Structure 1
């Protein structure tokens, strides 16, 4: 995980990262803090782990806090966005990272799996963005975290997850158009195979997955975080409605 360093292009900004207690979310939270942003991250279960991310950021001189919330709980999620803005005094950046990763044969996926996936992967980003823009001034950033499978599903069992992540393309484009007059940008980052607990780079299917990428290896969470930080910073001010694939060439 990155440490907070000097040269902070996001100094004075406040970011909310949903699902920021581990994996890509934790890397994003750390990178935004490194760039100078105060960070609020949400987590659902592992309080100790989220506290560890906060401690690393604050120990390196940054500002951070963690809020427990289930992104499938619409009321609690909106309250968490408002709490983040109230705690830090403003809100400039929203990273919709929390996700449900439910896989299985199409004929065996039930209504419960469907409802959870849509609640977390589609409804939650919509509602979080809706709540966040009430606090954002010109220059605000909304960055959605999608998935490479929205563009290329090479394995069976991904129908539900791919459907939910494909919805982020439409949300990102439409919100980019709608919020443009307010100088709020909205973009989508689609990670490819990334070395996390859910999908380790040394897992049983890693060799096959690597064969689908042009670069032949997994990303590190920091690679995804770097793209998010660029879009959140001054270099991303004229980019909106765009999809950035951080996938090692998985979709080409």
Structure 2
């Protein structure tokens, strides 16, 4: 299909430089979208953008954003909009996780998680909404949650992800008049720097073994699993799907969540 640069849809992906964000950017790029790769680690976002195969009329733009900073989000969206004139697909993938139980959580860290994981996606949608209004072409919002929203786990992280499910459903109603669909993806345990942070190899291995044992399809989630589901939700094939949570975890949403 021949598509002019101005007709190509634009996908903005937060947390783009991590394993999951990178796989999502690569898949959307292969599907022909311009990609705005947003990360708090700008050099890593630039490296990702530079590694995408050069294709005529297709552009990858790396941008910095701290998703806990409202002014930073506004500036990033303004820069992306100025570069492309449109934003069609929004993937809220950036997240932080300061682990702790209800007995020992730190209030400042709790607030930071809420700001990045829950308020950030809401503010980002608010800032992108004028582009959906102006284009009249509809759009897609895809929020990354976790299977822990139904099974429990570290309280602050679970509260953020459960809140993001609620936000998904609320925004699906509010953005429907603009023909914007809003859905969430709930991955299972996915080996990455994010899930390994704060854990040693032995404790993660035990966690992975437990996850596989409780997963009907008997393996861990891969970045490509999530990227494929993201691509589907971003595609015309998903135009009539909204307010859904798609569990991409091999059936492990049926089992209790381990710490």
Could you tell me the TM-score, scaled by structure 1's length? 0.90
* Structure 2 residue matching 1:174: 3-state secondary structure: helix
Q: Which residue of 2 aligns with 1:189?
A: 185
Instruction: Give the alignment's TM-score, normalised by structure 2.
Output: 0.87
Query: Aligned partners of 1:102 and 1:211: how far apart in 2?
Result: 26
Q: After superposition, what is the alpha-carbon deviation per residue over 1:193-236, rounded to whole angstroms, capped at 9, x for unaligned? A: 11322336994221112112111111110110111110100111
* Corresponding position of 1:147: 146
Give the match for residue 54 of structure 1.
49
**RMSD of equivalent CA atoms:** 2.1
1:129-208 mapped onto 2 (5 Å cutoff): 129-136=125-132, 137-153=136-152, 155=153, 158-199=154-195, 203-204=204-205, 205-208=207-210
Aligned pair 1:32/2:34, yes or no?
no
Q: 3-state SS of the aligned residue for 2:195?
A: coil
Please name the residue that 1:93 is paired with. Answer: 89
Distance 1:44 1:7 in 2: 34
1:67 corresponds to which of 63, 66, 72: 63
Task: Return the structure number with greater helix share.
Answer: 2
Measured in 2, the distance between the counterparts of 1:251 and 1:109 equals: 25
Counterparts of 1:138 and 1:172 in 2: how far apart (Å)? 20
Q: Which runs of 4+ in 1 moved over 6 A?
A: none
Question: Number of paired residues?
Answer: 242
- Tell me, in whole angstroms, the C-alpha distance in 1 between the residues paired with 2:246 and 2:34: 24
| Corresponding residue of 2:214 | 212
Q: In structure 1, what is the equivalent of residue 111 of structure 2?
A: 115
